[in-house]
Amino acid sequence: MTDHEARVSTEHFTVDLSAKQVHDVDDDVVRLRPTEWRVLEVLVRDAGKLFSQRQLLQDVWDRRTVTRATTRAWTWPTWAPSSNPTARTPAT
């Protein structure tokens, strides 16, 4: 991927792979957790590629042993409304 291709823009956000940043439509930086960034980076670098679940998990989690429990711990939605009695915050 060239420097020019390292920046991908949509009408809602811009991903800058070389700066490791995401900007919203107002050019504000969108903060991502490390695992969220790695998922986005893998998908942007190989845009249009179809990934198997196993391949995506291996690419994102650096080939460590990955289980469903591992992925739940790292990807639990942080946007869950606090009024939801089952909502919880991911472990840090």
Q: What's the pTM value of the predicted model, to 2 decimals?
A: 0.61
Domains of the chain (ranges; CATH) run 7-75 (1.10.10.10)
pLDDT, position 79: 46
Q: Are 73 and 90 in contact (CB under 8 A)?
A: yes
Q: Are 11 and 26 in contact (CB under 8 A)?
A: no
pLDDT, position 75: 52
1-28-24-22 Cα dihedral, nearest 10 degrees: 30
pLDDT, position 25: 93
DSSP conformation class of 10: -
- Amino acid 45 reads R
* Low-confidence residues of the chain: pLDDT under 50: 79-92
DSSP string, 31-87: P--HHHHHHHHHHHHTTTPPPPHHHHHHHHTTTS---HHHHHHHH--TT--TT-TT-
Both structure tokens of 74? 């790292």
Q: What is the pLDDT of residues 48-67, one digit of tens each?
A: 899 888 888 888 877 565 56
